[in-house]
A and B are shown apart, each in its own frame.
Chain A
Amino acid sequence: MVAITSPAFKANAKAALADPQLQKALNHVRAGFIAKRAAAVDALPEFDALRDSARDIKNHTLANLDLYLEAYEEKVTETGGHVHYAETAGEARDLILSICQKAGARTVTKGKSMVAEEIELNEHLEAAGIEAVETDLGEYIIQLRHEPPSHIIAPAVHLTQGQIEADFRRVHTHLDPKRDLSEARELLAEARGILRQRFLEADVGITGANFLIAETGTSVIVTNEGNGDLTQILPRVHIVLASIEKVVPTLEDVSQILRVLARSATGQEMSTYTTFSTGPRRRDDPDGPDEYHVVILDNGRSDMLGSQFQDMLRCIRCAACMNHCPVYQEVGGHAYGWVYPGPMGAVLTPQLIGIDKAGNLPNASTFCGRCEAVCPMRIPLPNMMRHWREREFERHLQPVTYRTGLGVWAFLARRPRLYQFAMGIAMRVLGNLGHRRGRFRALPLAGGWTKYRDLPAPAGKTFQEQWKEKQRALAGRET
């Protein structure tokens, strides 16, 4: 069970800032992703035109989502696959469990899927006696640690190599203590060896989907390791778990979005494997699954359509927003307290678990706008965080002191004369008090600021007073 700790974001963030291992690991986010993306974007002159194209494709699809889902479903059924709809996380879990049970499954392998994290699928399968094995290296590592992912494409990015080596030694008890695991490639080889056997034994393979194609009834996964492919071609049953907004119209439309996906995510021109799966194995096929199921999950997304959050449904989960976020870079993904971290999480999480629990997340932003600037789907993330802040205020969810402060400010801001009068006094008082040193080391009600840096003392006059004086002086000179 992934406990929701989003309400404790502030405490989580504080702990994260004081965690030296985490801070060391987060350096790889700060250093790696940003430069790689920039190089890939610079190498493709059409990148921004492709972003526009990708945005328009998704907007068109979302406006006709019901029809595209029906078209997709018809094609899947034509090719011998099965489409199941789930309104809630619970329904999706039960559907998947029942497919696994019908298949007599004892173990299932899993490709990386954020939607599976969202519905807590592994826990549900394990409770029914079915072992779920994560096969993406990062997911495998965090499964050993019983942790949720801290990043949507690099789930173990919060860990150092030393921590991973310690986990392998703890769990892989067959390991000779003398065996050298000090290199990343040794750790990868060890995981590859263990997981190869699991791939071949599994009864059911479960993957997510980056896209569902309405034209052909195809599910698409994009990976680098090849684990998703082994998950979906080796077992007898393949289950695809995807949310409603993954559908796109045609192969051409997918190609547009693929051109911005990997570049925004890892800075690759293409991920190593982009795989298109259509239905179960055909009559003469020597490999592939006998059964092909797609579980399409809503879980609150349909409520975002037609609302000020509809644009969020364009998200393709590339993680560029969190890689470029100054808050994510400092606190990492776990501080956000649920499945989706960073700016995209700050917008999506309140929808999925409630603004009452996730209210801190849209506030965990400096509104620097980098997330929107790099988003391949041009999602206005800061604007949507603002919408959540408004809803949070409307529903009286912030602490009394915060609301009172905002109330006082709003009262003054709506009365310009009173505002100028009050500010005039405040600036004179502060200006006099800070006259000698020019700055304050501590100030009542401003502890959050002065704890980390001095507050410069005001000039003794408000900006408006100074402006008026300057204008008067100028006018005097001209006449």
Chain B
Amino acid sequence: MSARDTVLGKIRRSLRVTAEEPGRNATVDARLKRAPKGVIPARGQLDSAGKVGLFTAQAEKAAATVTRVADITAIPLAVAEYLRAHNLPAALRMGEDALLNGLPWQKTQIEVSHGASEGRDAVGLSHATAGVAETGTLMLTSGVDNPTTLNFLPATHIVVVEAGAIAGDFETVWANLRKRYGKGVMPRTVNMISGPSRSGDIEQKLQLGAHGPRDLHVIIVG
């Protein structure tokens, strides 16, 4: 008997069930199919301006910095200003994201390179799939457009998120992902990011900048 059969068999013996009860199977199938929502905190259920405001406040509480620009063409300048203000070299790495790729980077001095990070980049730039106002959380999905390594290896991570993509709660983002990828299908990696990396492992003193970025800067567009 395989370990799989042994373990599943032990579980069934302890629960005093077989795999054959139609009622149990139907309940499980229904839950997987319908994915009922539970309790949704009221705090995120706001109009779009309210959601952007709450997202900003919550992200800042998690030690991210947030700026807002009117439209996408303003992104390169906002990035350049951030780099200058933080004494960072005018260079960044990003994926093949259509929105970011289409921007007029040539109007700035920034040297843009493309692809996954191998740990030599000071600054990574990503385009978030969504934001969640409830907790100031960014949702990033992996792929050639936004490689996951850019979220973790550079010491500074700049993330662009459109105001319209900021949802009140996690459940809204899952519903949108299902529409985009299909039911039961996920991108290889989904990163929920709330602030820059940190550790409290030494005497519970909070230190920002553990193994991931020291600084997380969010640019809200629109």
A and B bind: yes
A residues touching B (Cβ–Cβ < 8 Å)? 25, 28-29, 31-33, 44-46, 49-50, 53, 57, 60, 63-71, 75, 84-87, 91, 135-138, 141, 154-157, 160-161, 164, 184-185, 187-189, 192, 195-196, 199-200, 214-218, 224-227, 229-230, 233-234, 244, 249-253, 255-256, 258-259, 266, 268-282, 284-288, 296, 298, 302-307
Check A226–B212 contact: CB distance below 8 A: yes
Is B170 positioned at the interface, with any CB of A under 8 Å from its CB? yes
B residues touching A (Cβ–Cβ < 8 Å)? 2-4, 6-8, 10-17, 19, 24-25, 27-28, 31-32, 35-43, 58, 61-62, 95, 115-119, 134-137, 142-144, 147-149, 151-153, 169-171, 174, 184-205, 207, 209-213
Check A278–B186 contact: CB distance below 8 A: yes
Check A46–B14 contact: CB distance below 8 A: no
Query: When A269-B135, A284-B143 are in contact, do A224 and B199 touch as well, CB less than 8 Å?
Result: yes
Which of A160, A255, A266 gathers most chain B CB within 10 Å?
A255
9 other A-B residue contacts (CB within 8 Å) besides A196-B211, A216-B184, A273-B197: A50-B41, A160-B203, A269-B62, A269-B134, A276-B189, A282-B188, A284-B143, A286-B115, A288-B148
Between-chain CB contacts (< 8 Å), 6 pairs: A229-B191, A244-B11, A288-B148, A296-B7, A302-B13, A302-B14
Residues in chain A near residue B117, CB distance under 8 A: 287
Q: Which 3 A-B pairs have the closest CB atoms?
A: A226-B212, A225-B210, A138-B201
Nearest to B144 among chain A residues (CB) is: A284
Residues in chain B near residue A75, CB distance under 8 A: 184
Q: Looking at the assembled complex, report how far the CB atom of A262 sits from the nearest CB atom of chain B, in whole angstroms.
A: 9
Q: Looking at the assembled complex, report how far the CB atom of A198 sits from the nearest CB atom of chain B, in whole angstroms.
A: 10
Check A50–B38 contact: CB distance below 8 A: yes
Docked pose: A185 CA to B214 CA in angstroms = 12
Check B211–A164 contact: CB distance below 8 A: no
Check B212–A252 contact: CB distance below 8 A: no
Docked pose: A155 CA to B201 CA in angstroms = 8
Residues in chain B near residue A215, CB distance under 8 A: 32, 35, 184
Partner of B186, one of A60, A216, A302, A307: A216
Partner of A259, one of B41, B144, B187, B211: B41
Q: Looking at the assembled complex, report how far the CB atom of A27 sits from the nearest CB atom of chain B, in whole angstroms.
A: 9
Partner of B15, one of A87, A155, A277, A306: A306
Query: When A192-B209, A252-B36, A256-B39 are in contact, do A154 and B200 touch as well, CB less than 8 Å?
Result: yes
Residues in chain B near residue A234, CB distance under 8 A: 149
Docked pose: A98 CA to B117 CA in angstroms = 30
Residues in chain A near residue B16, CB distance under 8 A: 306
Q: Looking at the assembled complex, report how far the CB atom of A142 sits from the nearest CB atom of chain B, in whole angstroms.
A: 10
Residues in chain B near residue A157, CB distance under 8 A: 201, 204
Query: When A66-B8, A86-B3 are in contact, do A272 and B201 touch as well, CB less than 8 Å?
Result: no
Residues in chain A near residue B205, CB distance under 8 A: 184
Query: When A75-B184, A226-B211 are in contact, do A273 and B191 touch as well, CB less than 8 Å?
Result: yes
Residues in chain B near residue A91, CB distance under 8 A: 3
Docked pose: A136 CA to B15 CA in angstroms = 37
Residues in chain B near residue A49, CB distance under 8 A: 39
Check A233–B149 contact: CB distance below 8 A: yes
Check B199–A137 contact: CB distance below 8 A: yes
Residues in chain A near residue B193, CB distance under 8 A: 272-273
Check B212–A286 contact: CB distance below 8 A: no
Residues in chain B near residue A200, CB distance under 8 A: 118-119
Check A164–B202 contact: CB distance below 8 A: yes
Nearest to A305 among chain B residues (CB) is: B14
Partner of A272, one of B13, B95, B198: B198
Partner of A287, one of B6, B62, B147: B147
Which of B25, B149, B184, B211 gathers most chain A CB within 10 Å?
B211
Q: Looking at the assembled complex, report how far the CB atom of B135 sits from the nearest CB atom of chain A, in whole angstroms.
A: 4
Residues in chain A near residue B136, CB distance under 8 A: 269
Partner of B197, one of A224, A288, A302: A224
Partner of B6, one of A87, A136, A230: A87
Check B31–A249 contact: CB distance below 8 A: yes
Residues in chain B near residue A276, CB distance under 8 A: 186, 189-192
Check A137–B210 contact: CB distance below 8 A: yes
